[in-house]
Structure formats: structure tokens, C-alpha cells
A = this chain, B = another copy of it.
Amino acid sequence: MSLFTHDDGGEVLLASPPLIRYSALLGNTEATAILDRLDAELDWQRPSLRLYGREHPIPRQQVWMGDVGYRYSGRRFAPDPWHPCVLAIRDAVQRRLADSGVGTRFNSVLLNRYADGRDRMGWHSDDEPELGDSPLIAAVSLGNDRPLRFRWKDRHAPAFNVDQPHDSLLLMGAGVQARLEHSLPSRQRQGLRISLTFRWITPLATD
């Protein structure tokens, strides 16, 4: 699904709100090398919710990284420090977006590790207040191509899938979080996938 392709290689999947996919962000060899390093070197966590006496571990692993603390279920946590490979990806993302006229910077990234096709993420929007009114989120995919599924909150149009090949970048622009939810459904397809979703978090007043 693509409306048209820009000269810089960005495919406009939705014009309003903007959903744009870029391919070959790092080059295949470097992307694969970084996938292996992140898999081996990060301190992957699996948060777990206990409710009605049962543990409900999330069906994937995560690392928060960057300059700014984040909230999880109303709690504040400190991020992990930047890994050099993640900084390299962030710079590549910022350069690619600048080339296509989007001048932006990111101070935080949530990394998700999907060990195989059973790992997944449920329906949600990235709409925490500390992301601001119209967050711009850049999602880099490494490894197994798993489609991201989108649905409109007002259900005015059908849900749709977006393929996320190895070494691709999906830009979710202003309004995507306000008007759509997304999820990563489980799939038969096996193989490791790591995603990096870069965002700008405004440090909140302590009040």
C-alpha cells in the first residue's frame, strides 16, 4: 500500500495523518551487525503485571534508553544510557528525515525485542502527555519483517497493515497517535525482530 514515492525513497502510506516509510536506512550489512550487537549487549527487561494473584509478563522484551526519565504504569524510571549503535541509528534517522525536509531531534528511544513470531504488542497509541500534543515518532525495524497493524479510533475506515522490512524506518507524523492505534500481532513467521521507536520526551515539571 503506497500513495506515491518521494525522490528520497520515502513511501507515503498515508498523507493525513502522515505515515511514511523509508528503506535502506543503514545498509543491509551494518543493519544486520547492529541487530546482533543490540541482541547481545542490551539489558533486556520483561516487565510483568501482577493482578488477581497472577503474573502477566508482557509478550516481548524492552529497554528504555536516552536522556530523560519515563513513566510506566504511573511510576517513574531512569533510562539506560545510550548504546553507541543506538546513537548511530538515531543520527542516521535524523539525517534521513532532514533530507526529506523534517528537521527533528530525538532524546529517547524505546527498544522492543520480539524473539519470535509469538512475541507481540497489543493495541495502543504513543500518546503520553510528555510526548506533547503532536508527537513525531520514528520506528526503525531490524530483523524479521513483522507487519504493524493500524486501526482508526473512530472506525471510519478499515484497519490496515504496514510491512516493516529489515533496515526500514517508519515515520509516524502529527496526528497518527491521536487518530489511530497500532499493534504488532503474533505471526507464524519465525525470527528475531528488534524495533527502535525514537521520540522526543519533554521533561515534565515535577508538580
**Which A residues form the contact surface with B (CB < 8 A)?**
45, 47-52, 55-56, 58, 71-75, 77, 121-125, 127, 129, 133, 151, 153-155, 159, 181, 205, 207
Q: Are B50 and A73 in contact (CB under 8 A)?
A: no
Known: A73-B58, A133-B153. A49 touches B52 (CB 8 A): no
When all copies of this chain in the complex are counted, the total is: 2
Min CB distance A121 to B, Å, is: 7
Inter-chain CA distance A181–B124, complex, in Å, is 19
A149 to B, closest residue via Cβ: B207
Q: Choose among A49, A75, A124 the residue with the greatest number of B CB atoms under 10 Å from its CB.
A: A49
26 contacts between A and B (CB under 8 A): A45-B51, A45-B52, A47-B49, A47-B50, A47-B51, A48-B49, A48-B51, A49-B49, A49-B73, A50-B50, A50-B55, A51-B77, A56-B73, A58-B73, A58-B74, A71-B122, A73-B73, A74-B121, A74-B122, A74-B124, A123-B129, A125-B129, A129-B153, A129-B181, A155-B205, A159-B207
A151 to B, closest residue via Cβ: B207
Min CB distance A27 to B, Å, is: 34
Min CB distance A2 to B, Å, is: 22
Q: Are A133 and B151 in contact (CB under 8 A)?
A: no
B contact residues around A49 at 8 Å (CB): 47-50, 72-73, 75
Closest 9 CB pairs of A and B: A74-B122, A48-B50, A47-B51, A49-B73, A129-B153, A56-B75, A159-B207, A49-B49, A129-B181
